[in-house]
Amino acid sequence: MKKILSIILALCVTLIWTPMGFSRTKFVTIGTGGVTGVYYPTGGAISRIVNKKSKQYHLKVTVESTAGSVYNINAVLSGDLEFGIAQSDRQYQAWYGLAEWKNKGPQKNLRSVFSIHPESITLVARADANINSPADLKGKRVNLGNPGSGQLQNSRDVLAAFGLDEKKDIKAEYAKAVEAPSLLQDERIDAFFYTVGHPNGNIKEATAGRIKVKIVPITGAPVEKLLKKYPYYAKSIIPHKFYPDAVNESDVPTIGVKATFVTSKKISPKIVYAITKEVFENFEQFKKLHPAYAVLTKENMLQGLTAPIHRGALKYYKESGLIKYLKPELIPEKYKKKYLKYLK
């Protein structure tokens, strides 16, 4: 009998609770995007910061290159990924059951953690194609982005705003962003859209080739109407200094969205709390990991979100005092009574 009790006691010790839950290391994966975009290094930055405390949290974070926003949201909701990076517009559409989620309906298990860098809708065109506005894309060969990427819908929104029909007015291509620069330099397309944080390797590649290119402004009355129609878009600037080989002589005005870090309602709050805490507690270090993060503040990392904040992140925001920057609608209904009093 004593031997049996000893065995049971030993088993209990091996399963002892730790700050992360159980003593065995938990592996979680962040879905990102193409390796040349900003999503992939963003996932890497988050994983490196958290993995420095892997022994404390018994948590190991890995990164996966994926097809982008739509894929990441769907994979998070299906349980194939624990976390994903997605454009703020795609988060909005998933939460409300729009666009790719129209037939599935509102995705109410989706949860926000925080937002990251701004992403500008970037229109790159051959300098000799006489494209000075999205309106000039009529009759041109244009890459809109691959299915499953956030930029595809952004491209469509811009075209529609300028009165262009994707099927009738342009010769649309649907290649991945990483393929677009070579397509442009090989003169197989006249222009391409890419929603991305800057500076970006693909855009640098496109501007440094034999064919001279320009970054086309996305401005004017059509854009003002678009901003009123879709609350997740905002005006942004693409700095000229990032792409000195483009024919542009100054910064380029455009519009954009934000990259957001999302998860599922089903993910353990201890895991979400650990990741949120390490990113914000090492904020200055995080900002230095990519030039696109230079404009970040702790306050604006709580903006551009639609899905409710995951309760693990909410716990950290309350402890740190950052909760005052949240909008009331981001507090899950179940926790409103507990947390609304801490908002501004």
Beta strands in the chain (DSSP E): 17-18, 21-22, 26-31, 59-64, 83-87, 110-126, 141-143, 171-173, 191-196, 213-216, 234-238, 252-264
Which CATH architecture does the domain made up of 119-257 adopt? 3-Layer(aba) Sandwich (3.40)
pLDDT of residue 160: 97
**Higher pLDDT, residue 256 or 3:** 256
Predicted confidence band of residue 76 (pLDDT cuts 50, 70, 90):
very high
Percent of the chain scoring above 70 in pLDDT:
93
Percent of the chain scoring above 90 in pLDDT:
78
| Cβ atoms within 10 Å, residue 50 | 23
Query: What value does the mean pLDDT take over residues 131-135?
Result: 98
pTM for the structure as a whole: 0.78
Class of 19-118+258-342 per CATH?
Answer: alpha beta
Note whether 19-118+258-342 and 119-257 share their fold.
yes
Handedness of CA 15, 21, 24, 27 (dihedral sign): positive
What confidence tens digit (pLDDT) does each residue in 138-195 have? Answer: 999 999 999 978 789 999 999 999 999 999 999 999 999 899 999 999 999 999 999 9
Q: Can you tell me whether residue 9 is helix, strand or coil?
A: helix
What confidence tens digit (pLDDT) does each residue in 201-223 have? Answer: 899 999 999 999 999 999 999 99
Ordered by start, the domain boundaries in the chain are: 19-118+258-342, 119-257
Predicted confidence band of residue 292 (pLDDT cuts 50, 70, 90):
confident
Predicted confidence band of residue 23 (pLDDT cuts 50, 70, 90):
low
pLDDT of residue 30: 98
